[in-house]
Amino acid sequence: MSDKDHKQELIALLEDIMSEINLKPLHPKNKILLYSRYLLSKFSWHFTVATLSKTWVSENMDSVVNKF
């Protein structure tokens, strides 16, 4: 898998999981726990294998997170 593939998969995964968690009828405190524990574990492999800069993460992934 190339870095480009990892980036595309990360964005798609982020959007899917964020919208899935957002639609659940949970207290906001519990949603934050899901975001912090579940999302990080899903992303850790991509961050370990691919060369992703902090700038790319902040520019691309932060904008997706801010939608929710």
Domain ranges of the chain: 3-56
Mean pLDDT of the 7-27 span: 93
Distance of CA 43 to the CA centre of its chain: 7
The CA distance from 39 to 33, in Å, is 10
Q: State percent of the chain over pLDDT 70.
A: 100
Mean pLDDT of the 21-46 span: 90
Instruction: Check pLDDT > 90 for residue 43.
Output: no
The CA distance from 4 to 26, in Å, is 34
pTM of this structure: 0.78
Instruction: Check pLDDT > 90 for residue 28.
Output: yes
